[in-house]
Structure formats: C-alpha cells, structure tokens
Structure 1
Amino acid sequence: MSYPITAWPRFALAAGLCLVAAACSDSSNVQVNTHTEGDNSPASIGEQLADRYMIPYPAVIAHRGASLHAPEETRPAYLLARDQGADYLEADLQRTRDGTLIALHDTNLRRTTNIEAVFPDRADDPVNTFTLAELKRLDAGSWFNEAFPERARDSYAGLKILTLDELRQIAEAGDNQPGLYLETKSPALFAGIEAELAAYLREHDWIGKQARQAPTGFDGDIDVGYSPGRVILQTFSKDSLVQLHAEMPDTPKILLLFLGGDGSITADPTIQQREDESDAAFQARRRPASPEAYNTFLDFARDQGAIGVGPSAARDDLDPVYSYADLADDSMIERAHRRGLLVHVYTLDDAVDFRRYLNRGVDGIFTNDPTALLDFTGAPTPTAVDARLEQLGY
C-alpha cells in the first residue's frame, strides 16, 4: 500500500496498560488481526502491533540525536531532536572505568574526540579504561566542524561526552517529552551492564511500578516519555537480549540485525565485490544466505521477549558512512510482522528512502535528521533547524 506524503498516521492509539505489559513480556503470544476492514497490508499489520505495544507509529527515532546537524550524542544533538519533536532519543551505552554509564558510539575515542591531544599515549585505548573525569576533559564537538564544515558552528567546539543521567535530564526538561531508545553497545566489554541499566531506570522512574506519568495540564506535542513505550532497549547481541529480558521483562526490546561478521545473519557467499565496485554499492547488494538464515534471527528475537527487530537499510545515495545491506525488503517485513514483531529500520535521512521503506511497511525509522522525517510524515512543521539551534544557544 502506498501513501501520499501527508497521510502517514503519526501515533498509535492507546490499547490498555495491562495488554501492553503482557505483550512486552511475551511477544510470541501476540495475535494480530490481519483482516481489519479487509486490510492486511504491511502498514496495517504494523500499525496494529504499534498500537498494542503503545509505540508511536511510525516511530521517529533520533539516531545519536539529530546527528546530521550537531555532533552525535552531545547536548545540542539531543536538544535539537527533542525540541523538533522526535519520539525517541537514541543512544549507545558504554561504561567508564569508574562505573558511570555514558552515551558514546565508538569503543575507541579517536573519531569523535581530541584524545590524541589530551592523552597521546592512550589514543587507542578502549573507552572503558578511562574514568568519567578523564573523558570529560575531551572535546567531543570540534571533530564535527572539521568533518562537516557546511554545518559547523563555533559553539560545538569543546562539547562534552554525555552521561546517561545527563541524557535523561535532557529528555525530561523540555515541553516535549521523548522516550529513550537505549543500546547496549559492545556489551561483552561491560559485564553486568544490563542489570546496571535496569537499576538506573527504576531509580529514576523510567520503568517499574512508579514509572513517570504526565502531570496535570501537560500539553506538549510529544508525550512518549509518559507512555508505557517510554523506554525501548536495543542490542545487536543475542546474549545481551537474553539478559535485558531477564532484568526488564516488561520493557520493550529490539534485536538489531546486520549482515556478515560474528553474531550476524549469514551472508550469501555468491555475492562478491566487483573490481570496480565501491564498498557502498557492494554492501547495498548483499543479501542473507537464505530465508532461513534471516528467519532464525526473527524467531530468536520473538522467543527471547523482543517486540521487534531493527534491520539495516540500503540508502538510495549509497552514502559511504551509512551503507548497509537491505534487510527490510517486503518479504522480510512480512515475516517479522507475522511473528508479532515491529520493524524499526536504520539509518535513513532522505525522503526517497523514507518513502520506499514506509511504503514497504516499516514501523519506525532511525534517522540522523528527525526534522526531515517529521516533515515527511506530515507532523506539525518543525522549526527550521538553524533557527532552533539559535534558540537553543548554538
């Protein structure tokens, strides 16, 4: 089913708290009505699932914040995503040597900080060998100005790595109340991170019996942070998914999907890179070895308590930074939906890609440019990015 740009439904309707808790605890028991008003299209099935889990549909997931316009996983990136109206602030969680959870993607600090200038003898050391105080000495913003001069801002120089606590406070502080979409990044490096995350979220009333509720008179455009879907947990690791479900059985979880490499879906070995082919084009052509190779991951996700999967997407422009195999074609989405699994695809920034994957029936999109996705889905028009950043003091 194909929709015009302005016709995408923005939010799933409430279906009842007890139903959500049961569904999140055992997604294998989800029964989807595929014949509502005669419509068994992928979009219809996905919307029913989103409704059941009380997850926005289609979900706008700010990948490392609004990271197209500000340094990833820093304060301005998350403030921009929050105030523009993203449903979720997405973050990669790691742990410092002294036990603080932080938002950072790479396990090495070279790409996004000035580690070589501050700690030249430790430039290749993993993040978990640094204390929080040491990490706070680093400049986590200037790299962006150098890499993307067309989007550079003097105010980005000197930005700091954020803790999970600082990210939570950003999510709670605005008129909009987005949810948190949290990944256990390289969890094998951080024994017990799942239990630590559960304890943190309970302590701050993001999960559990006392989970935060909307105050009387709340009138923000985004209230995901007050809903049963306020936290979504994500991981590429099967072991971490099992531990996340043991620690937080009633919290929505997503198994991320990728192709090739340890712990990933087996790739079709007959698809080889051509001599004159770019890495981006090659990645976009790759496919799973068989339907069964893909289905094994869907079945594992369902059986271990996940409510959905997060497959990679092939971008139209073959951007070399985000070039992945297409793990969300029509058949793959249908197979996920038939198992009661939502499909949140990563990582898309352009209308041509939004249209293609939403028309296939994906239920949410990780994006570095939530403003563009909000515009595409017909949400109330966000403020222009430059104007919003100036409002925020950047």
Structure 2
Amino acid sequence: MKGGPTLRALWECVSLPVALALLAGCSSSSSLPTSAPPSGSVPPLVIAHRGARSLAPENTLAAARKALEAGADMWELDVAVTADGELIVVHDDTLDRTCNVAEVYPDRRPWQVWDFTLAEIQALDCGSWFQQRDPFGQIKGGNVSDEDVASYAGERAPTLRQALEFTRDNDWRVNVELKDQPTDTLGQILVEKTVALVQELGMEAGDRVAISSFNHDYLRRIRALNPRIAIQALTSQPIDDLSEYLGDLGTVACNPKSGAWSPGELKELGQAGIQMNVWTVNDEGEMEQLVDAKVHGIITDFPQVLVRLLKQGPG
C-alpha cells in the first residue's frame, strides 16, 4: 500500500471466493454454514466513513488521502446519479450541505443531485464548508493543520471513476454505497454503470471493492450481473434469520447501524461466519467493545483514533 502498511493488510476472514463457494452448497432457503471461518481472527477492518471526514471534507479525495495516511484498511463512499447519467460521489440527496450550490445556483432550490449535470456539480466548491463549520471540532482542536485547511478550499466532488482509480492506484480498498435513487431508471443506471466501471478497472475480484446499499434490490441486481463483486447489506434495524436472509441475497456481509445488535449478538453472528461491519462508531469505548466482540469491520469518522486504539492493544 503506497500510504504505508495497515494493521490488517489482508482481509483474512471470509473472502468473496470462499463465501461464494460456501453459498453454492446451500439452497436459497438454507442458512449459511456455521463452518465458515469465524470473524475476528485478526483485528477488525478500519473503514473510514466517507474518508477521514473528521479531518477533511467528506466524500472527497482529500478525505480519502487522510484516511490512507491514517492507516485505514479501506474507505467508504457514497455514489449517486447526475442529471446526465454520470456517477458522482456524494452522500445527501441535495447538494447544499457540502457544496456552495446555493451561492452559485440560488434559483434551483432544493438542489437535488439528479437535477444537476456532472459538469455543474464538479464546478462547485465542496471543501470550504469544512473550515466554516468545523463539523467535528478537529480544526479548533488543532488536529487539522492550517496548510490542510487552506488546501480544502475549492475541493471538488469526485466521480466514482476518480475515486476507484485513486483506490486502485494506491493498492487500497473501498466500500461503495449505492444511494437509493428516486426512480427505477436512475437506480438501473446506478447499478449497471457501477458494475461496468468496477469491471473496466479490473477491480471486481478479491476484496478491492465491496458494494453496499440499503436498497437490497440493487444488491440482487449486482449479484446477477457479476457474482464476483462483493456485496454488503446495509441495515438500520436487526434482520430476522440473518444467515438465511444473507444466503438468499448471495453474501455473508452485513453492515448494521451501531446498536442494531448488542456486542454479544455481534460476536455470535461473527462466530457463525457472518461479516459484521458496524457503522458509524466514533466513541472510543464503543470501538473497544466492538473489538472485543470481534466484529469484521468498524466504520468510523475517526479512523485515526481506531488505528491508535488497535495499535495500543487490549487494556
């Protein structure tokens, strides 16, 4: 990794080829086999939520670089579709929180992503707001240098291609969250173009890219288009019969909201061979609980903190 070695340079739990081999032996209605290698044989993956968004503007290459420098195992980003059918990295349905769209286009409220072309979005300043709002208090706390703060002005929203190329060129990993789109047509564009791009860049095999979504129909479409691409089911609530549900979906990975399952339940699910990647965990005490629960991954706005905790070890 060009950004330096991480604590977990290889994803050593259930890799996609192993997962698919296990699933191939199950009917669509059966549970995942409990003989799958248990999660937690190595420290949890440090997954930088929208990049290191506590240190840089979220969902930008600047945030990705900060996460890489911090030693994160991978970063997570969000992708949506523009008015001209291009894939842009952005979290919200509207652009006003993280871009100066209200200043540039005051008459186009509510500034929905799908109402703007790629060129229009990439002309926006998606970095200056970070200095103005200091969303995590890290500038005030002295954890972001003046040089970095100044460099964020004018930061652009990357395309998914730019984000994937950055990941590939740095021998890194990424979790791509597909945002639920307002129409079936946009959803189809999102799924098909994402799969095509991952394939074009040669990133579909192994653990270089995982695609997650709250829209599990998107995941089913991905599985049908290319079963080599890893998928992960996002959820805010517990899912009954999780093993069976994931087996039907064609994955062993679930990304639950913090608190959806207790640490004890998470540990049991991991022992059953399910990869649990918990979001969004910023409290150090909770990080330690999840490390003890041997979850597969921890998604955090503070990858630099989680890396430090893992280096310190237990106690």
User: Normalising by structure 2, what TM-score?
Assistant: 0.82
> Which of the numbers 23, 30, 33 marks the counterpart of 1:31?
33
- Could you tell me which runs of 5 or more consecutive residues in structure 2 were left unpaired when the two chains were aligned: 1-6
Identity value in percent = 28
Q: Which moved more, 1:136-145 or 1:332-341?
A: 332-341
Aligned-partner SS, 1:94: strand
Q: Which residue of 2 aligns with 1:373?
A: 306
In structure 2, what is the equivalent of residue 245 of structure 1?
A: 223
Is 1:355 the equivalent of 2:300? no
Match of 2:240 in 1: 295
1:154 matches 2:156: no
- Residue of structure 1 in register with 2:251 after alignment: 306
Partners of 1:127 and 1:26 in 2: CA distance = 42
Aligned match of 2:4: none
Paired residue secondary structure (1:183): strand
Q: Which residue of 2 aligns with 1:172?
A: 168
Report SS of the residue matched to 1:135.
helix
Q: How does 1:74-113 map to 2 (within 5 A)?
A: 74-113=60-99
Residue of structure 2 in register with 1:184 after alignment: 178
Q: CA deviation at 1:334?
A: 4.7
In the alignment, residue 161 of structure 1 is paired with which amino acid? A
Listed one character per residue, the Cα deviations across residues 28-74 of structure 1 (whole Å, up to 9, x for unaligned) are: 6753448xxxxxxxxx83136xxxxxxx7511111100111000011
Secondary structure of the 1:146 match is helix
CA contact (8 A) 2:9 2:73 kept: no
Question: CA offsets, 1:64-102, max 9 Å, x none?
Answer: 001110000112101111233221121111011112111
* Aligned partners of 2:127 and 2:154 also within 8 Å: yes
Higher RCO (C-alpha 8 Å, min separation 6)? 2
Counterpart of 1:371, as a letter, is Q
Conserved in 2, the CA contact under 8 Å of 1:61 and 1:86? yes
Matching of residue 198 in structure 1 with residue 184 in structure 2? no
Instruction: Give the letter aligned to residue 307 of structure 1.
Output: V
Residue 335 and residue 295 in structure 1: after superposition, are their counterparts in 2 closer, same or farther (change >3 A)?
Answer: farther
State the SS of the aligned residue for 2:261: coil
- Structure 1 residue 348: deviation in Å? 1.4
Aligned pairs for 1:1-394 (under 5 A) are 11-13=10-12, 19-23=18-22, 30-33=32-35, 45-47=38-40, 57-148=43-134, 149-150=139-140, 151=144, 153-174=149-170, 177-189=171-183, 190-192=186-188, 193-207=190-204, 228-259=206-237, 294-296=239-241, 299-313=244-258, 326-334=259-267, 336-337=269-270, 340-378=273-311
Let me know the Cα RMSD of the aligned residues. 2.9
Structure 2 SS opposite 1:162: coil
Q: Determine if contact 1:23/1:29 at 8 Å carries over to the other structure.
A: no
List runs of 5+ in structure 1 lacking aligned partners. Answer: 1-7, 35-43, 49-55, 212-227, 260-264, 266-293, 314-325, 381-394
The Cα offsets for residues 85-123 of structure 1, whole Å up to 9 and x where unpaired, read as: 221121111011112111100010111111111011113
Q: Secondary structure at the match of 1:191?
A: helix
Deviates more, 1:150-159 or 1:129-138: 150-159
CA-to-partner distance for each residue in 1:139-189, whole Å, 9 max, x for gaps?
101111111152471221111111011112221333xx2112111111454
C-alpha displacement of 1:16: 8.5
Cα 1:333–1:131 shift into 2, 3 Å: same
Q: Which whole-Å CA distance do the structure 2 matches of 1:328 and 1:69 have between them?
A: 29
Please tell me whether the aligned partners of residues 102 and 111 of structure 2 are also in contact (alpha carbons under 8 angstroms). no
Contact 1:94 1:103 in 2 (8 A): yes
Amino acid aligned to 1:164? L
**Secondary structure in 2 matching 1:295:** coil
Please give the TM-score of this superposition, normalised by the length of structure 1: 0.67
Equivalent position amino acid for 1:31 in 2: P
Distance 1:71 1:90, change over 3 A: same
Which stretch shifts more, 10-19 or 248-257? Answer: 10-19
Tell me which structure has the larger Cα radius of gyration: 1
Task: Give secondary structure in 2 for the equivalent of 1:109.
Answer: coil
Tell whether the 8 Å contact from 2:276 to 2:296 is kept in structure 1 after alignment.
yes
Q: Check the 8 A contact 2:266/2:295 in 1, yes or no.
A: yes
